[in-house]
Structure 1
Amino acid sequence: MAVRKKRPSPYPSWFYIPAAALYVVFFAVPTFASFFFSLTRWTLFDVTFIGFDNFVQFFREPQLYQGFINTVIYGFVTSAAKVVLGMALALLLTSPIIGRGYLRAVVFFPVLVSTIGIGLTFKALLDPFHGIVNGALGLFGIAGPGWFTDPKLALLSIAAVDVWKGVGIATLIFMAGIVAIPQEYFEAARVDGANSWAVFRSITLPLSRPAISTVILLSLIGGLRSFDLIWATTRGGPGFTSDVMASVIYKQYQAGYFGLSTAGNVLLFLVVTAIMIPISRLLNRKEVEA
């Protein structure tokens, strides 16, 4: 007599339904809708299909090129700084130092503060005439620059504030990666007489590669999509010198060009995807080779 195989119960699959519904409603549908509305001239009450005219017009915008260059510079500068400073702070905060718990809290605290609040605070602190920073520099006879008003410094000043706010996340990820390394490796290195640099180069850095990849990807995506800190500090000024693609898109939206701003969002999505996919594959391939 043949034994009938028991069919697997569909019950475990039911738990995927809430997550799938949220994904479809809040990601899939808006994404496809954006691609459609980027080909239209639309308002809340009217939609007119115009093909690729929005994209053509968007590329004719004088600030688009500057915004694209600023987006790339801002993304890579903030990402690189977070990786380097985050690793340095993680090494410090995983070593046996006095007040380690307090210092960890200090480093992570800016992550918990609102980005808009930080932007407004630093806008006041770095005011070229009434800011505390330039006032302190003036006590030593140093003429403080216009941090957010000098076209050459505005974007880099915002990037520095971004790094200050976001380096806590990078530090936390690096700390988790370092703590997960078996202590036997470090003990063996000490027995062999390896110095701190040799231990970092041969043990800590290679075995922290997954954490490094995570920090690079997260910080680069965040940098390329950054908007709120830039808008709170300079609104893309002076002129268009600190404009990024997100702020250019928002300005088009403010002016009532909804189809044009939607096309800009699609372009931003494609730019971020085009940059992140090869970097992600490169980092993952190195992890496999390691």
Structure 2
Amino acid sequence: MHSEATARPKTAAPRAVARHVERSYPLWFYIPGGLVYVVLFIVPTLLSFYFAFTRWTLFDSTFVGFDNFIQFFAEPGLIGSLKNTLVYGVVTSASKVVLGMLLAVLLSGPIIARGYLRSVTFFPVLVSAVGVGLTFQVLLDPFNGVVNQVWTAITGADGPGWLTNPDLALLSVAAIDVWKGVGLATLIYIAGIAAIPNEYFEAARVDGAGAWQQFRSIILPLSFPATSTVILLSLIGGLRSFDLIWSTTQGGPGFSSDVIASVIYKQYQAGFYGLSTAGNVILFLVVTAIVYPLSRWLNSKETSL
């Protein structure tokens, strides 16, 4: 009896502490953030869904049902832009995962000027996408660009039209996107690697594991939360990308680097606001249909580790 009496307070105390932690923030504490979320996200989203079914201007709107969606799907370049959007999203996200992981492993090791190299790797993330696009438009100029001048000096042949060749334009912009965004992926991976307890590496070294074995058996599986974060952020950014593509190629040459976002912007330019709003709704649904199940799958893999 005495042992039971003394045991109850020990089990009750953690529960009381847990309840105290759960209730440490009152309900009103969440109201400001909730209002900002409703005003800046929920309301514009609902309004965009409504205006997608109208022909609207700044002063009036006319309900037209599904006409905007039918017309948008009849766009001649839509299938090509959808394909380009998927290719761009997959290429950029996969490249950022691989390069981000490799750079993070390198910059987490005992190398000279590690802090400086981390800063250099992250610096492109801070630069405006439009600024990056205009800069690379000059660097990749097929006649006077520095890249092709170096290419000619090394190979003796004329360099390719990185942004003017229909077969290279989309992948060239994707490479620029990777250069600009890999710093964020690297930072996320560095944080993920730093969170791995050092005891794992010490035990691996005692067992005679080399660098490759430590990477494969410790870093790769235990940094999976960072991997899932990089995949989701990079894929969402790639599927929604517009500013970098528009500032470098404007969807050209022809329609070879057009993505859904650039098609939508062209409709805005032409004054078809309801049609472009319908395109935004379609893009929202496409991104959600891809990212949501992927997120659920990655979370299930993460919890099973």
What's the TM-score bracket when you normalise by the shorter of the two chains?
over 0.9
Is 1:48 the counterpart of 2:66? The answer is: no
> 3-state DSSP class of the match of 1:194?
coil
Paired residue for 2:48, among 21, 29, 34? 34
Find out whether 1:264 has 2:274 as its counterpart.
no
Please tell me the residue identity of whatever aligns with 2:171: L
Shift of 1:142: 2.9
Is 1:69 aligned with 2:83?
A: yes
The DSSP-based 3-state class of the residue aligned with 2:89 is: helix
Report how many residues are paired. 282
Percentage identity across aligned positions?
A: 71
For residues 213 and 139 of structure 1, what CA distance do their matches in structure 2 show? 42
Give structure 1 regions of 4+ aligned residues with deviation exceeding 3 angstroms. none
Distance in 1 (alpha carbons) for counterparts of 2:65 and 2:182: 42
Q: Tell me if 1:246 matches 2:261.
A: yes
* 2-structure distance, mates of 1:174, 1:45: 49
Distance of 1:217 and 1:78 partners within structure 2:
11
Separation in 1, partners of 2:25, 2:37: 20
Matched position secondary structure for 2:256: coil
1:214-229 alignment runs, 5 A limit: 214-229=229-244
Residue 91 of structure 1 pairs with residue 128 of structure 2? no
Q: Confirm whether residue 20 of structure 1 aligns to residue 44 of structure 2.
A: no
Q: Distance in 2 between matches of 1:209 and 1:235?
A: 36
CA distance in 1, matches of 2:290, 2:25: 40
The 1:10/1:143 distance shift into structure 2, 3 A limit, reads closer
> Shift of the alpha carbon at 1:105?
0.8
Write out aligned runs for 1:147-158 (5 A).
Answer: 147-158=162-173
- Aligned partner letter, 1:215: V
Once residues 184 and 90 of structure 1 are traced to their aligned partners in structure 2, the CA distance between those partners, rounded to angstroms, is: 19
User: What is the aligned partner in structure 2 of residue 105 from structure 1?
Assistant: 119
Alpha-carbon separation, structure 2, partners of 1:11 and 1:216: 32
Q: Find the counterpart in structure 2 of residue 184 from structure 1.
A: 199
1:11 positional shift: 8.3
Secondary structure of the residue aligned to 1:83 is helix
TM-score (norm: length of structure 2): 0.91
TM-score, structure 1 as length reference: 0.95
**1:130-162 deviation digits (Å, cap 9, x = unpaired):** 101101111121321000000000000000000
Unaligned stretches of 5+ residues in structure 2: 1-22
1 CA distance for matches of 2:35 and 2:112? 49
CA distance in 2, matches of 1:153, 1:208: 34
Structure 1 spans left out of the alignment, 5+ residues? 1-8
Q: Are 2:288 and 1:288 equivalent residues in the alignment?
A: no
- Using the alignment, how far apart are the partners of 2:180 and 2:142 within structure 1? 21
Q: Distance in 2 between matches of 1:270 and 1:256?
A: 23
Tell me how far 1:12 sits from its aligned partner.
2.3
Matches within 5 A, 1:136-215: 136-140=150-154, 141-215=156-230
Deviation at 1:104, TM superposition (A): 0.5
Amino acid in structure 2 at the alignment position of 1:161: I
Indicate the RMSD between aligned Cα atoms, in angstroms: 1.2
How far the C-alpha of 1:176 sits from its partner, in A, is: 0.4
CA positional deviation for 1:10: 11
